[in-house]
Amino acid sequence: MVSRGPVAASDADRQTWLERWQNWHDGRPLLLNAEGMEASDLRRAGFWPLMTPATLAMLPLGSEPEMRAGLKQKWRNRLNRAESEKIKVTRHVLSRDHWLLKAELDQARAKGYRGLPPAFSAAFSAANPGQALVFEARYRNTPVAAALILRHGLMATWQMGHSNDTGRKLNAMNLLLWRAMVYLSQNGHQELDLGILNRDDARGLTHFKLGTGAEARAQSGTWLHQGALAPLARRLPLGLAA
C-alpha cells in the first residue's frame, strides 16, 4: 500500500515512478492512495479506480504574525474571545487512558462516521515517543476540549478533537488549534494536515478547518493495480475512472 503518494520532487519524477514502479515491486497487488496524479495516467498504467478523490485541508505553517493574518475574520474573532476567557491550555503526550480517546469513540458512534480507531493513536504514541501530543483546554479546573496532534517529519496531522458544550461556548477548540499551530511552527513543522473536507455532511467542521487559512487540496483517488485487472483498467472509459 502506498498512502498519499508517491512522494516526488517534481511531476516528471512522479510520472517516472508510475511507468517504472513494477520494476521494484514483487508482483503482488498494489493499493495506491494517489496524490498529484491524473486519472488518465493511472488508467493507462493499469490501475483500477476504487474510490473517488477526497479533498484535504492543508494548513501552511509560518511565523505567528503570518499565521494570524491568514485566519478568516470570524475564526480570528472567536480566537480573540477564547483568549479573553480564563481557559488553561496544557500540552502533554497522549496516554492510553486519556479521556479524549473514549470521547472520540463515542462521538464517532453518535454521529455515524468512521475513521482510524482511537487504538491507532495510542499505538502511534507508544511507537513514536513524544510525537503524539494532546492540547487540552480546562475551564474552572474541568476539561472542556482537547485535540490530538501527530507529528511526523516536517508535517503534522490533526488526528482528532472533541469539545463539550462549555468548550463550544468558549470557542476552546479555536484556542487549542491556534496553540498547536504556533507550537508546531516553532518546532520545525511546515504544514498541518487538518483532514478531509466534507461539505455535504460536516459543513460546520469544513468552515472551521478552512477558517484557519488552510487550502483545499484535492487528492487523486484510491486505485488498485492487480495483474488480472490491469488490461481491463486500461480500457475503462475515462469518465468512470475520473
Distance CA 35, CA 19 (A): 16
Write the pLDDT tens digit of every residue in 11-44: 899 999 998 988 888 889 999 999 889 999 999 9
Q: What is the mean pLDDT of residues 153-178?
A: 97
Taking the C-alpha atoms of residue 137 and residue 92, their distance in angstroms, rounded to an integer, is 12
Q: Burial level of 43, CB count in 10 A (0-12/13-18/19+)?
A: buried
pLDDT at 146 over 80: yes
Q: Which helix (H) or strand (E) holds 111?
A: helix 99-111
Residue 167 buriedness (CB in 10 A; 0-12 / 13-18 / 19+): buried
What are all long-range contacts of 233-238, with beta carbons under 8 Å and residues at least 24 apart? 233/43, 233/46, 233/47, 233/48, 234/43, 234/44, 234/46, 236/43, 236/48, 236/49, 238/39, 238/40, 238/43
Going by C-alpha positions, the residue among 93, 67, 103 that lies closest to residue 179 is 67
What does the pLDDT read at residue 151?
A: 98
Q: Which residues contact 63 (CB under 8 A, 6 or more apart)?
A: 185
Q: Which residues contact 35 (CB under 8 A, 6 or more apart)?
A: 4, 5, 6, 219, 220
pLDDT 10s digits, 174-188: 999 999 999 999 999
The whole-angstrom separation of Cα 116 and Cα 132 is 15
Which tens digits make up the pLDDT trace of 100-125? 999 999 988 888 777 788 899 999 99
Q: What's the pTM value of the predicted model, to 2 decimals?
A: 0.87
Do you find a cis peptide bond into 6, omega within 30 degrees of 0? yes
Mean pLDDT of 84-90: 97
Which three three-digit cell numbers place residue 99? 479521556
CA distances to 35, 68, 121, 157, 197 from 211, in Å: 24, 11, 26, 17, 12
